[in-house]
Amino acid sequence: MFDDQGIERGQTIAPALTEAIRESRISIVVLSKYYASSRWCLDELVEILECKEVRKQIVMTVFYGVDPSDVRKQKGDFGRVFNETCARRTEEERRKWSQALTDAGNIAGEDFRKWDNEAVMIEKIARDVSNKLNTTISCDFKDMERLCDQKVLIILDDVDDLEQLEALANETSWFGPGSRIIVTTKVQELLEQHDIKNTYLVDVPTKDEACTIFCRFAFKQRSVAPAGFEKLIERATKLCRNVPFGLRVVGSMLRGKKEEDWERALHRLEDLIQSGSPLSTETINQIFESSSEQVPHIRIESDVPRKSFVSSLLGLLRIRVKRGINLAVRDLFSSDPYVIVKMGKLRLKTPVICCDVNPEWNEDLIFPVTDPNLTVFLTVYDHDTFTPDDKMGDAEIVIKPYLDALKMKLEGLPCGFIVTTIQPSRKNCLAKASQIIWNDGKLVQDLILKLRHVECGEVEVQLQWIDIPDSKGL
């Protein structure tokens, strides 16, 4: 969006705004009830639709609280506002504006009145824009000659094939004077083969720089270690060999955890990494495991590269299995319960608590999320030594309301602020109302689940979200 605050009502649109409209690939026109009250908004619309015809620009429309038919025919409240704007204007201006509104009303767009959640609508629009840009970018590269008179900045990241350089930046004459092309690669021979003279070898961060990078992700906006974490941070950066990718991933994974959780996770990593070896893809895969020693590792079993796997992630869902309440008795006087949580193909497990129908696990199970529509299945079992484990009920966790709240990108709310409440219904397994709350700078959801297919029992869990660097994100 180009927003020119220097335009006053009654003036024509500024040349800078006209140029911005003409250079855009996509224009999104938000038509509200009072859109037609602004003469320069109408002039912008005329310019945008002209670019649609002449420059084949993509135009998307959003009807915000107004009927598309009212825009198309200039009737109702929208038409009344339009007529007031046209008073004392020339007939030619009225004709151009009317035709532009008719054309805009005929473009199939998003009608806000048909959406229950504004944030979800905005997300869909953003996704549509991204998809349209991705489908047109390949066509743009076929028309490289249009760049020969322009000063451009091009960054080619992680190049691993000479053909990529030849296709995108083979000749300096392709670009205008003053242009800059930056190439990053792990293969120095490619730069030599392409006759690139100005090279810079990027070294790993220093010890202090690594600490700053790690703290930025482990403690969010802090670049200095809080009291009590100094030795743990030193161990973590040493394990990562100061490599930025490892610092970011490990820091993000440890964010919000207690010192004892750090100690346990770092101890596991120290066991995984052989002395003197770098933090490889194999060991980074281990980072995606739960804090429980009995939980299987989340591994990439396919041939999909690590970078591709991370970029396909929305993030990580941390499910804290807190406790069981009045669980069923499956042994003589008690039970030895444990919980298995399943999401997609991944199954994670809590420890067994012996002889307790009100066990406290407080166990974090972490799932990589690629599909926001997946349902989480929770099953409680009684551990038996000589016979198959008995089932003690199951429940489903519907995570969509929590993910929808995360998509709102809330910031700066007071601690304990209730964002939304989900009531028990036949569509969920809630024993009581569940609240999504802003707590210590992040959204969490506490749930008490009523177990099905059993005479009694409830399980209390908490949902938390972990953002991962370079992932797709919500």
Task: Provide the H-helix boundaries in 295-358.
Answer: 306-312
One-character DSSP codes across 167-214: HHHS-GGGS-TT-EEEE--S-HHHHHHTT-----PPPPP-HHHHHHHH
- Site of tokens 């973590």: 236
The closest alpha carbon to 236, from 275, 258, 216, 210, belongs to 210
69: three-class secondary structure by DSSP: helix
- Strands of the 442-450 sheet, one edge to the other: 360-369, 315-325, 458-466, 442-450, 434-439, 417-422
Close Cβ partners of 136 (under 8 Å, ≥ 6 residues apart): 25, 58
Residue 147 DSSP symbol: G
Query: Any bridge partners for residue 321, and if so which?
Result: 363, 461
* Torsion from C-alpha of 45, 50, 56, 57, nearest 10 degrees: -20
Cα gap 229→258, rounded to integer Å: 10
**CATH 3.20.20.100 matches 313-466:** no
Residue 297 DSSP symbol: P
Written as tens digits, the pLDDT of the chain (474 aa) is 444 544 444 445 567 678 888 888 889 999 998 999 988 889 999 999 999 888 888 999 999 889 999 999 999 999 999 999 999 889 999 999 999 999 999 998 888 888 877 778 888 888 888 777 765 544 555 455 566 777 888 888 888 778 777 777 777 777 888 888 888 887 888 888 888 888 888 787 888 888 888 888 888 766 667 777 888 888 888 888 888 877 888 888 788 888 888 887 787 777 655 434 444 444 444 444 444 333 333 444 444 445 555 677 888 999 999 999 999 988 767 889 999 999 988 889 999 998 899 999 999 999 988 888 888 999 999 988 667 888 999 999 999 999 999 998 888 888 899 999 999 998 899 999 999 999 988 999 999 999 999 999 999 999 999 888 777 887
CB atoms within 10 A of CB 337: 29
Q: Where are the domains of the chain?
A: 15-194, 207-276, 313-466
Query: 460 an active-site residue?
Result: no
Quote the tokens at residue 355: 């002889």
Cα gap 426→18, rounded to integer Å: 55
Marked catalytic residue, from 19, 44, 189, 411: 44
Close Cβ partners of 143 (under 8 Å, ≥ 6 residues apart): none
Mean pLDDT of the chain: 81
Q: Which fold has domain 15-194?
A: Rossmann fold (3.40.50)
